[in-house]
Structure 1
Amino acid sequence: MADYGVDCRGGRPMPRSHRTWPSWIEEFTRRNLTHASDRMAAFAGASEYYGTLTYLEPFLGLRRDSLAEDLAWVRAGPTRGSGGVCVPSWTWLACDAPVWVDYWRFEHEDALVENHTHSKVCRVDWQGPRMASAIQRTVFRVRGPVKQMALRLAPGSTNSTTLPGFHLRETSADGPAACARVNCSGQFDSDSHHPGHVESTYTCLLLRSWRRESSAGQQSETFLLLTPAVEVVEVGDDDYEECPGFRRVGIASVTGHRPIFDGAERRELELF
């Protein structure tokens, strides 16, 4: 068992090589740095080392070949403050709190896993050395199934030791489906994003799904909670334009016999 570790969420052994990158992130986010703005530079060494091992340079803490998995990070404790200056909302580097990577495990032996979100454009412009200077601009466009969903906190769920529970309703559906509510678990990236018991609507981007042959047709879907945003970007010398897109505010997962994202429109989104 020397080459195996134990997943503390499920108690299952797994190869350490599979857990290396997520483990680095989870351990790093549990460190208390004096200045939150130093987090990116402090992680630069691990990012560079991983790149030399795999010949794949991580993209602000995300692996390009495991994008859907790494986007599925979850805040695992109270925030200490802001994650850093000008850090995009979609990376865990923006959340100054402990995180889990891919909290909803997709590693069951009989699980059929599908990644639904893929990158179209990944680019970071730095003002100086990579990961050691301020970000000038990021361009991050992804494509995946999108639906409008309304969420509100389930009564008593904040007293749980696990992630909060939510009531989920499809606002993009018609007829009875628009009124149907299902239960799901999730987490907001900051307490300031938390709507409490007030129902709020989000643009939801499906990251991953899985179904198990032994679970009587049950399926799980993990998706990001996004809100519309507009950024002013420089397109030339003293020339600027407004760019519409979305910011990440949280993540959720739902399990049931009917996939929530059935029939969802596949869209290309710009994430800030």
Structure 2
Amino acid sequence: MEANKTLVTEFVLTGLTDLPGLQVPLFLVFLVIYLTTMVGNLGLIFLIWKDPHLHTPMYLFLGSLAFADACSSSSVTPKMLVNTIDKSQMIPLLECMVQYYFFGFSATTECFLLVVMAYDRYVAICNPLLYPVVMSNRLCTWLISVSYVLGFLHPMIHVGLLFRLSFCRSNIIHHFYCEIMPLFTISCTDPSINALVIFIFSTFIQAFTFMAIIVSYTGVLFVILKKRSEKGSNKAFSTCSAHLFSVFLFYGTLFFMYVRPGLRNKEVLGALRKMINK
């Protein structure tokens, strides 16, 4: 039995579909989406870098978010595209962990950058006269650095805990990339601690950052409603509504990926009750 636990060193990703007729169309669709995303993000970063007029806190944060989004897309999509047309669809255990790490890094960084952007809009709209003083270059650099450091550290916890697991039941991951939750279903070691840690960190990070964004935009909304200039009010509202739409879409996806499975997992809930009772 112990020997069998060390046999699984590679996994099979089932991908998006096993129908041969759909593999090429799906490959082309996602290739176009990926290239469009990368051109958009990298193009935005290049424009911000080249144009001195865009060297403002808002565009600095937007460029940082674009870089994190490019990292997120690149951590998943290239391997997914290869697996779509590759019959083997294999991924080594180490590469699997690296893929999850970079996805977790970019997702966590985006969470905190969205908070920073919400705070930036709050200061710009609610205290426009103090904006140049409050949002100094030093503070902007510090906020971006903290976001990336937190993004760097957070997935290290979960990747580190993966080393306590051994995989002997199966090597098939029913997903199109190496996501951590499907790994738990094929582990022959009890993954309840791993699932509990993911649930706690995901819930805390998502709840904290989401509430911070909502508080910032609540203040912005009150100021917009008080504004006399209809033109200025509409411009501020359109900017903030676009940001809020992205926030709800992003957080909704993360909630269904990490928080919702934990709420339905009896082992996670049991471990959580034991921790609270202590």
Instruction: Please give the TM-score of this superposition, normalised by the length of structure 1.
Output: 0.29
Answer 1 or 2: which has greater helix percent: 2
Answer 1 or 2: which has greater strand percent: 1
- Which structure's CA Rg is the greater one? 2
